Amino acid sequence: MAKNFLESLGRIALFRAKETSLGEAQENGGVSMDFDSGSGMSLSREIEDDREQIRGKELPTQIYFSFQTAQGRLSQKRVKPDFLTFVLGYFFGNLSSEEVSSGIYQHTITPSSSLYLPSFTLVQRRGDSILKERYCGNFIESFSLELGESWIGLSAELKGIGKREVNYFQEVVSAPANSTQITLSANRVEGDTEAERMENVFRVRAKDVGASFWTLCQVSGVSGDTPSVITLTQPVGTSSDLIDFHIDYIPQEPSWCQFPAPLDESPLRLVDAQIIVDGYFDGSEVQGGETISQDLLSFTIQGKNDLQIRPLADGSGKLWAGEVIRSSREITIKLSQRLRNTILQWQADHPETERISVYLKVRGAEIEPGSGYYFGADIIFPECAIIEAPISISDKFYAQEGDLLVMDDGTYSGVFIRTWNQATGYLS
């Protein structure tokens, strides 16, 4: 066997239950999700050097590791309700769930006024299986929900405090230079078979007595003992003097390395979506309004939380952040439609007084046959202001863009969202 570094063999899992405190890993409500290529999280390290100091040298001589955060992106070009609910729930901060039929849940999402949003845990595997990582203390910085050519797509930008656990390890073991067997200090190498354990020992190297260069050791066997014994094809040298062997390997994995099961859901299609403008939301349903379908060319909802991440002087000695605060929230809608009349143009001429409501209704398959409930969401913006409405050309036809700013309507804080699926425990 051999480890496979194809991206498509990687895996990402999200944990719906919020962290009880910032950076405290969650292991409840986990679900593996399928994401588009390029999705995942990574560390952003702040590394400083001493080049700005007067040291009698031109090039730097010291490196200082001062701080780290995490960032990433998750996207589904065919979004499923579980991911949609997760992103919007953590972006806005308030979510409540109720069982509306046996095993079917309705989730209501509203904006939180708190500057401190709930955080979540993410686990990812690179390939099959180069390494696994667990990121704690993550937030939804922004999202973009778009009506594509055939499907509803959703992407989310993530920010995190930078608390990261990995399943790999480097150990230094002292042993005679003429050793052909090296015993680890405490760990068993991950793997049920010897072949798997050998794949999980990435490198063994050492410097022979008096040598100034590394010798790479070939591994011929790894026992299943605790600790494991690593067998080398030949010794580094002939001396019985002790030298340091540097061993890079994957120890027996903790429980967080086991990926939770995925959830089977229907993706949300364009032909099952509706956009209704100028309706009235009575707290339960949208009354009246105009459905724009034939004239609609594109539609995108974008939200941004403008998160500020910083370390604290708390005596912890930790390299990751101690505070994440939301400094503002902005929601915009971009739509393009054919130019058939001047209604939108007139409204754009009177931005101080003209407001419109926007209701996006998206549906998938029926959750359970005969239940009357469908995978999907209602996303309602009771009051939007028109910022721009430029006229353009789209495939030889006149079109008009609509740049809308979501306003606080005084009742729902600008947005009211309902979703339906068979999952529960979001933000619980």
Same domain (yes/no): 220, 232: yes
- Computed over every residue of the chain, the mean pLDDT equals 94
Same domain (yes/no): 298, 393: yes
Among 2-6, 213-217, 319-323, name the one with the lowest average pLDDT.
2-6
Domain's final residue, options 252, 287, 313: 252
Surface-to-core class of residue 17, CB atoms within 10 Å of its CB (0-12 exposed, 13-18 middle, 19+ buried): middle
Show the 3-state SS of the chain: CCCECCHHHCEEEEECCCCCCCCCCCCCCEEEECCCCCCEEEEEEEEEECCCCCCCCCCCCCEEEEEEEEEEEEEECCCCHHHHHHHHHHHHEEEEEEEEECCEEEEEEEECCCCCCCCEEEEEEECECCEEEEEEEEEEEEEEEEECCCEEEEEEEEEEEEEEEECCEEEEEEEECCCCEEECCCCCECCCCHHHHHHCEEEEEECCCCCCCCEECCEEEECCCCCCEEEECCCCCCCCCEEEEEEEECECCCHHHCCCCECCCCCCEHHHCEEEECCEECCCCEECCEECCCCEEEEEEEEECCEEEECCCCCCCCCCCCEEEECCCEEEEEEEEECCCCHHHHHHHCCCCCEEEEEEEEEEEECCCCCCCEEEEEEEEEEEEEEECCEEEECCEEEEEEEEEECCCCCCCCCEEEEEECCCCCCC
Question: Is 54 domain-assigned?
Answer: no
- Can you give the pLDDT at residue 344? 82
Residue 203 has pLDDT above 90, yes or no: yes
Q: Identify the domain containing residue 196 by its residue range.
A: 169-252
Query: Between these two residues, 350 and 23, which has the higher pLDDT value?
Result: 23
- What total of structural domains would you count in the chain? 2
Same domain (yes/no): 283, 400: yes
Would you state the structure tokens that stand for residue 397, as one six-digit string?
């036809």
Question: Is 55 domain-assigned?
Answer: no
Question: Is 399 domain-assigned?
Answer: yes
Interval 125-145 mean pLDDT: 96
- Pick the most confident of 54-63, 81-90, 289-298: 81-90
Same domain (yes/no): 271, 140: yes
Interval 381-387 mean pLDDT: 93
Would you state the structure tokens that stand for residue 94, as one six-digit string?
């308030």
CA angle 85, 86, 88 (to 5 degrees): 65
Same domain (yes/no): 157, 173: no
- Can you give the pLDDT at residue 372? 95
Question: Is 34 domain-assigned?
Answer: yes
Query: Between these two residues, 238 and 390, which has the higher pLDDT value?
Result: 238
- Can you give the pLDDT at residue 28? 87
Question: Is 239 domain-assigned?
Answer: yes
Same domain (yes/no): 276, 241: no
Cα–Cα distance, 166 to 43 (Å, whole number)? 12
User: Are 220 and 204 contacting, i.e. CB atoms less than 8 angstroms apart?
Assistant: no
Show the 3-state SS of 228-259: CEEEECCCCCCCCCEEEEEEEECECCCHHHCC
Cα–Cα distance, 53 to 224 (Å, whole number)? 52
If we measure between CA atoms, which residue out of 125, 156, 124, 162 comes closest to residue 23?
A: 162
Same domain (yes/no): 284, 394: yes
Residue 39 has pLDDT above 80, yes or no: yes
Residue 27 has pLDDT above 60, yes or no: yes
Cα–Cα distance, 350 to 336 (Å, whole number)? 19
User: Is the model's pTM score more than 0.85?
Assistant: yes
Per-residue pLDDT band at 1 (split at 50, 70, 90)? low
Question: Is 185 domain-assigned?
Answer: yes
Domain's final residue, options 205, 234, 252: 252
Interval 147-176 mean pLDDT: 97
Among 105-109, 140-144, 286-290, 337-341, name the one with the lowest average pLDDT.
337-341
**Percent of the chain scored above 90 by pLDDT?**
84
- Can you give the pLDDT at residue 376? 96
Domain's final residue, options 252, 276, 309: 252
- Can you give the pLDDT at residue 350? 80
Per-residue pLDDT band at 40 (split at 50, 70, 90)? very high
Q: Are strands 93-101 and 104-111 parallel, antiparallel or unpaired?
A: antiparallel
Same domain (yes/no): 321, 194: no
Query: What contacts 10, CB < 8 A, 6 or more positions away?
Result: 40, 124, 125, 126, 127, 128
Per-residue pLDDT band at 304 (split at 50, 70, 90)? very high
Question: Is 428 domain-assigned?
Answer: no
Query: Between these two residues, 2 and 119, which has the higher pLDDT value?
Result: 119
Same domain (yes/no): 237, 113: no
Interval 94-101 mean pLDDT: 97
pLDDT digits (tens, 9 = 90+) for 252-293: 999 999 999 999 999 999 999 999 999 999 988 899 999 988
Residue 245 has pLDDT above 70, yes or no: yes
Same domain (yes/no): 84, 227: no
pLDDT digits (tens, 9 = 90+) for 49-73: 999 999 999 999 999 999 999 999 9
Cα–Cα distance, 17 to 272 (Å, whole number)? 30
pLDDT digits (tens, 9 = 90+) for 336-381: 888 888 778 878 888 788 889 999 999 999 999 999 999 999 999 9
Cα–Cα distance, 266 to 82 (Å, whole number)? 10
Same domain (yes/no): 104, 191: no
Same domain (yes/no): 272, 353: yes
Question: Is 1 domain-assigned?
Answer: no
Per-residue pLDDT band at 391 (split at 50, 70, 90)? confident
